[in-house]
Amino acid sequence: MADDQQPQGGQDSAQKRPPERKKRPEDPRRKRTVRLVALAVLVVAIIAAIPIWAYYSVRESTDDAQVDGHLIPISPRISGVIITVLVNDNQPVKAGDELVRLDPADFQVAQAQAEANLANAEASTQQSEVNLPLTNISTRSQVSTTSAQVQEGRAGVAAAEQAVNVARARVSSANFALQQAQANYTKSQNDLQRYRELVAKDEISKQDYDAAVAAATGTAAQVDSAKSAIAEAQHTLDQAGAQLAQARARLASAQVSERESQESRPHQVAASQAQYKSAQAMVKQSQANLEQAKLNLGYTILRAPVDGVVSRKNAEPGMHVSAGQQLMALVPLDDVWVTANFKETQLRKMRVGQKVDIEVDTYGSSRKFRAHVDSIAAGSGARFSLLPPENATGNFVKVVQRVPVKIVLEPGENRDHLLLPGMSVTPTVFLNSGTNSAY
């Protein structure tokens, strides 16, 4: 039965199939017209793209750019109290104009004290300079005196030694005289004894006996005199020995003084010279202190270092300020430039010296400033940021980096000071300009 129904189903499907449509023949003229129109549009697009490509292929531009300039902080070099503020915010000033005055009283006193110290140091130097030759002369004289004392001591020792020798000779002579006197005394005593026996026998006269007695008495006196002479000579010898010891002591003392004077002379002279040099150093130090005091007094007046405009003034009379505290900022509008952050893909043909047209958002396209590329930064802005990106973490996402390019205005372009730091600008770099000589 299934076989019987199969052809019936096939007939039904054939009956439901829509009839095939007949294709109309294509119009060759219409096809040719479409091709011509497409070709014409392509040619027109190419012709229009050529000048556009020619224009933009030699230009690079970015709106990520702004005017930069110096912001010069005005700070005091010393601490003090403000007594006068001579400028206001946004006031133009010239180089050397007074901006702020500090109270100079303390610094005037310091200068007077420094002048007094300098005068004292100069007086000490003069005194040391006078003492230097005096010390040289006095030490030389002292050496000469001690040398003379040594010579005198040696002469005294020689004289004392001679006196000792003379005293010794007198002692020897007195001893010899005593011996002779004693010999005579012994002989006279012997003669007296014989004469006494003879006179008793009346063999000699009384006169001869008296003469023998007198001779014995005389020899006894001679012995006593010789003994006295010996004692006197010994006393003289003792005195001469004492004088010799004193002379030797004086000589030793003179030699010590001579040696000390000879050894101390160079030290005294060196000490005098060192004192003179120290006084000279004190003079230089006092001069430096005086110069510093004068500088500090001059620092009580804050002056403008360059021409510019006062900004961010934070100084009022009566304020106590510290050294280095910023009181205001000075913006020199004569020295401004443009920092343009170009994409790294835009730097392929960019070179130093290429000319640039700058359009400022403030003034629109009605005013353009001429400039040239001054330099290209040594790294991208992200690399010099506080937290530079780290691409070694495994989550690397490539981002086109921007590299700062410094663009400097041509001379006289900002003489009217229309460009202010922070203004947004759009620089256009002409890549085919070569250097700024193209102007």
Would you give the distance in Å from CA 167 to the centre of its chain?
A: 78
Q: Is residue 395 part of a domain?
A: yes
What digits encode the pLDDT tens for the residues 102-144? 999 999 999 999 999 999 999 988 888 887 777 777 777 777 8
Domain co-membership, 242 together with 356: no
Domain co-membership, 273 together with 408: no
The predicted structure's pLDDT at residue 45? 81
The predicted structure's pLDDT at residue 438? 38
In CATH, what number is assigned to the domain containing residue 366? 2.40.30.170
Domain co-membership, 129 together with 259: yes
Domain co-membership, 417 together with 346: yes
Range in 46-60, 174-188, 354-368 with the lowest mean pLDDT: 46-60
Domain co-membership, 391 together with 286: no
Q: Please classify residue 247 by burial: count the beta carbons closer than 10 Å to its beta carbon, then call 0-12 exposed, 13-18 middle and 19+ buried.
A: buried
Domain end marker among 297, 314, 345: 297
What mean pLDDT is predicted for residues 216-227?
78
Using the predicted structure, report yes or no on whether residue 263 has a pLDDT greater than 70: yes
The predicted structure's pLDDT at residue 17? 55
What mean pLDDT is predicted for residues 47-64?
73
The angle subtended at Cα 343 by Cα 339 and Cα 346, nearest 5°, is 100
Q: Name the nearest CA neighbour of 420 among 303, 311, 306, 305.
A: 311
Token readout for 178 is: 């005593």
Which residues, including other chains, have CB under 8 Å from residue 272's CB and lie 6 or more apart?
128, 131, 132, 135, 136
Q: Is residue 317 part of a domain?
A: no
Q: Give the Cα separation of 371 and 411 in Å (integer).
A: 9
Q: Is residue 47 part of a domain?
A: no
Residue-range definition of the domain harbouring residue 411: 60-69+331-438
Domain co-membership, 65 together with 122: no
What mean pLDDT is predicted for residues 229-242?
81
Domain end marker among 297, 320, 345: 297
What mean pLDDT is predicted for residues 150-174?
82
Domain co-membership, 293 together with 340: no
Using the predicted structure, report yes or no on whether residue 74 has a pLDDT greater than 80: yes
Q: Is residue 187 part of a domain?
A: yes
Range in 99-108, 276-285, 310-319 with the lowest mean pLDDT: 276-285
What mean pLDDT is predicted for residues 150-179?
81
In CATH, what number is assigned to the domain containing residue 161? 1.10.287.620
Record the pTM. Answer: 0.60
The predicted structure's pLDDT at residue 2? 39
Using the predicted structure, report yes or no on whether residue 56 has a pLDDT greater than 80: no
Percent of the chain whose pLDDT exceeds 90:
41
What mean pLDDT is predicted for residues 351-380?
92
Q: How confident is the model at residue 63 (pLDDT cuts 50, 70, 90)?
A: very high
The predicted structure's pLDDT at residue 276? 83
Per the structure, the count of domains in the chain is 2
Q: Is residue 197 part of a domain?
A: yes
The predicted structure's pLDDT at residue 393? 63
Domain co-membership, 292 together with 336: no
DSSP characters over 319-371: -EE-TT---EEEE-TTSEEEEEEEEGGG-SS--TT-EEEEEETTTEEEEEEEE
Domain co-membership, 279 together with 347: no
Q: Is residue 42 part of a domain?
A: no
Q: Is residue 152 part of a domain?
A: yes
Spatial contact of 438 and 355, defined as CB atoms under 8 Å apart: yes
Q: How confident is the model at residue 275 (pLDDT cuts 50, 70, 90)?
A: confident
Integer CA distances (angstroms), 60 to 249, 341, 431, in order: 109, 11, 7
The predicted structure's pLDDT at residue 371? 95
The predicted structure's pLDDT at residue 117? 94
Q: Is residue 326 part of a domain?
A: no
Q: Please classify residue 234 by burial: count the beta carbons closer than 10 Å to its beta carbon, then call 0-12 exposed, 13-18 middle and 19+ buried.
A: middle
Domain co-membership, 283 together with 419: no
Domain co-membership, 379 together with 244: no
Q: Name the nearest CA neighbour of 185 among 153, 220, 138, 152.
A: 220
Sheet arrangement for strand 98-102: 301-303, 98-102, 80-85, 320-321
Token readout for 259 is: 């040696």
Phi, psi dihedrals of residue 285, rounded to the nearest 5°: -65, -40
Higher pLDDT, 429 or 385: 429
Domain co-membership, 171 together with 292: yes
Domain end marker among 279, 297, 315: 297
